Amino acid sequence: MDEAIRIDKYLWAVRLYKTRSLATDACRCGHVRMNGLPLKPSHEIKTGEIYELSIEQLHKVIQVRQPLGNRVGAKLVENFMTDLTPPEEYERIQLVRQYAFEKRDRGSGRPTKRQRRDIEEFKYK
């Protein structure tokens, strides 16, 4: 493919963003970087380039295998992109989601003063 593909279109095509406008906004806000520098949505991708993305709380690192202009199925994404994100990042996100809100068993009543202090200490320290 000799056709130049924009970074926002590529990120949408490999299913990192739900819509192309979300991918464009992420680029404009500085959430898409290469070598620590933010990219414009019009940046033309090249095979082998490595990009750092911030998607909500996840810091993802990807490498372009092959330029892609049209959206593909989720199973085909691995042919066009390599995920270089360290496993520790996924584990961190898993913990954040697990402890994002407190859950008490139904019928256990209000927490005691000691339980409340433990909860606050865990959440805020």
pLDDT in tens, 79-120: 999 999 999 999 888 887 776 666 778 888 888 999 888 888
Q: What angle do CA 37, 42, 48 make, to 5 degrees?
A: 65
Confidence of residue 122 (pLDDT cuts 50, 70, 90): confident
Express each pLDDT in 10-52 by its tens digit: 999 999 999 999 999 999 999 999 999 999 999 999 999 999 9
- For residue 58, the SS3 value is strand
Q: Is the pLDDT of residue 1 over 50?
A: no
Q: Is the pLDDT of residue 76 over 80?
A: yes
Q: What is the pLDDT of residue 125?
A: 62
* Residue, of 3 and 93, whose pLDDT is higher: 93
Q: Is the pLDDT of residue 3 over 80?
A: no
Q: Is the pLDDT of residue 58 over 60?
A: yes
Other C-beta atoms lying within 10 Å of the C-beta of residue 24 = 21
Give all domains of the chain, ordered by start, each with its CATH number. Answer: 1-85 (3.10.290.10), 86-125 (no CATH)
Q: What angle do CA 57, 58, 62 make, to 5 degrees?
A: 150
Q: What is the pLDDT of residue 116?
A: 87
Strand residues in the chain grouped as ranges (E): 32-34, 37-38, 50-55, 58-64, 81-83
